[in-house]
Structure 1
Amino acid sequence: MKKRNAALLCLLMMILSAVGTFFVSNLFQLRIGDKVILPKADLEYYQALDQRYSKVEELKGYIDQYFYKDVADVDFEDGLLKGLFSSLEDPYSIYMNASDYESFNISTTGEYGGIGVVVSPNENGYIEVVSPIEDTPAEKAGLKSGDIILTVDDTDVDMDMYEEAVSMIRGKPGEAVKLTIRRIGVSEILEFEIVREQIKVQVVKTDILEDQIGYLRLTSFDEDAYEEFKAELSDLQRQNITGLILDLRGNPGGSLTECTQIADYLLGEQVIVYMEDRAGEKTYYRSDKNKVDLPLVVLVDGGSASASEILTGAVQDEEAGVVIGTQTFGKGLVQSVIELRDNTAFKLTTSQYFTPDGTNIHSVGITPDLIVEPSEDETLDVQLDKAVEVIKASIQESGNASVQGASN
């Protein structure tokens, strides 16, 4: 009996060994001398790779041999990866090497050495100023939303070298950077030499205006914007404000999460925004019934972009407040940032967004309810003055309605 069991065990081991060898040979490789036998599917895959990339190697060989400059320090792999994204012809989809990605992360934390300007590649292939940041060297020097940056320190720049241009504009505080600018409506090319400073963006600024009207300026939707917004607005409410002016002028956007949290805190039960991918799949963001029950005005301009436009659209479409100012920037696309294992990353446009009534504002922007152009006299803020006027009228109208209700 024991001999029979031993024989069966031996036979079983032989079968398992043969099966294992078969699977290992097929899953990996089978070597015979200096040759390797591959499954047919694997062979076809590698042949396709060879056909696809042998041309790349051929072209690189020509460059190595004939280009008029030494290319020993050229990172061809980095160029190939960036070219992969530039072929999409989408200025917002980009590959970031480790240095680019580090620079990107620095920009979202709110503190860095630079001139304080938010820029973006545009659909014409240039690098465009979205907005200079308030109280920074860029604003004091006179950079404006819509300016096109042509050169940085005498180096021509465009959307294909967007991250490099951003890195060049940033730098050690106390050192100057030279920019040449093309501005709409100005025939000559403008030149700026701006001294860098340590830029620490104050995300939320508040004030109490006449008649106890609360003023809250939100400069970006970067990290922790929601918590700062909530704390500062709560402080205003403790001072018994009678209305709220939310100033999004020059706010270039930021995190979708921060934006929708702020909208949820501010607005009642409604759709804030919805995203739609290429398959037509929609993702809705909604606010609950809790809201800040005050007359609301939102101030916007050409520097109000992306997340600023999401919040503005939510207010306007649902008539939760009055939008005052000038046409917004017009960025209605959503990017996902994906970090890779080697500390590189990429941004890819994965969907477009729509305001609650189904409007996509990309390349168009949002038209305010009341269009008020800024004064040429920079000491005057006629847009803010109009906002105060509208809040006062809303308070007056609300008071009259209350009196009529009581008399009935």
Structure 2
Amino acid sequence: MGYGAGENAGRGSRMALCLWWPGFELELERIRTPSLADQPLALPTVGDRRRIEMGCSVAASSGVEPGMIVSQAIALCPSLVLCEPDPDFHDAACGRVLDLLRLWSPVVERSSDRGRFFVGIDGLERLYGPPERQIAGLRARLGALSPWLASSARVGYAPGKFAAWVAARSGRPGAAACVAPADLAAFLARQPVDVLPVSPRMVGRLKRLGVVRLEQLVRMPEPALVSQFGADGRRALAWARGSRIDHVRPEAPARPIRVALDFPSPIGQLELLHAALDRLIARALEHPRRRGKSVRGLRVSASLEDGGSWSIRAIAREPTSEPARIGAFLRSRIALDRPRRAVETLRLECFRFGPASAQTGLFDPKEGAPRALGSLETRSGELLPPFRRAARVLRLRLGGAALYRVLELEPNSRLPERRHALMELA
């Protein structure tokens, strides 16, 4: 599985470097407000029933854990300081780190966690030397951006993103762990099962079975894991053995469509916010870069009265270019996470696009093609794709089966009940 930089350009980089800052958002708040330097901090979720999304080590020592209700956390740690989410500030800091990393390597991939980044390093030894020298040079660049970034980064160097992340996780703040390809299996065997990128429920079941470390997981037969956990069991075993190497893939340069609306006075009524959102959707769909494409990824953000920001990010199940569908989709998301204060500026960003959204007839035998004259037949009773999508949407909206087809069983039977049956469309 060894690839050179030129051979593997289409698949990304096999060797990965992971940079991880635990509690990235909370540390940014400490930098922005120095008076919080020694205080126990926590970042709550948004919504009516707020929970702890992230806590610092000081708060964790008092028993504050992610997922805990805010009132319970304050009861355990009365001096706990809740930092209101400020996604614009956090995303701007994340963007500065990404820009610096992209100047160092052409292959950079961000994680869903703001404080974790992956850098592809295939071929970089010709520019920067061996791994230790590469890491030292990267720390020097981070130090020029912020001394905290250089001193607190945990760095992992290993084949594949998973192993690099585990290496970074196992180190101390400001330390680096380098894992050679020949040592990968032995390194992973010592790690706890908590590092596996699977659901917490699966990790809990593994622990109840007595599987605490990956070396115990490796000794289990693959058929037994598949029978218990399905495809997740097979993937977990491949990760534990070090046989699954997930490459770092460069992100395509995004050219999102951004539109904004400033209000003469802050607005707090939800109806006015919806009306402003409809205007932004119409302006975004009229943008020249949107023509010929549908929209799938959307982000709504706002600058709030008295400082701070708010944002929601959503990926539509089906790409569309219909303003009514986009508006209904975003309004449902806003209902779950409303701005905490009145809005001064509302912004809409379309960052992911799909093919042109032209609805075909329900009886089109093939997607994107005109209906064949006089023919609605399909091979082997195959259901037409538009029918399949319509049945799925109706099932989700009505909470049960909505469309059926007549299935011929025994057409010559003397009993009418045996001749045909109704079968739910799937």
TM-score (normalizing by structure 1): 0.22
Larger relative strand fraction: 1
Q: Whose radius of gyration is greater, 1 or 2?
A: 1
TM-score (norm 2): 0.22
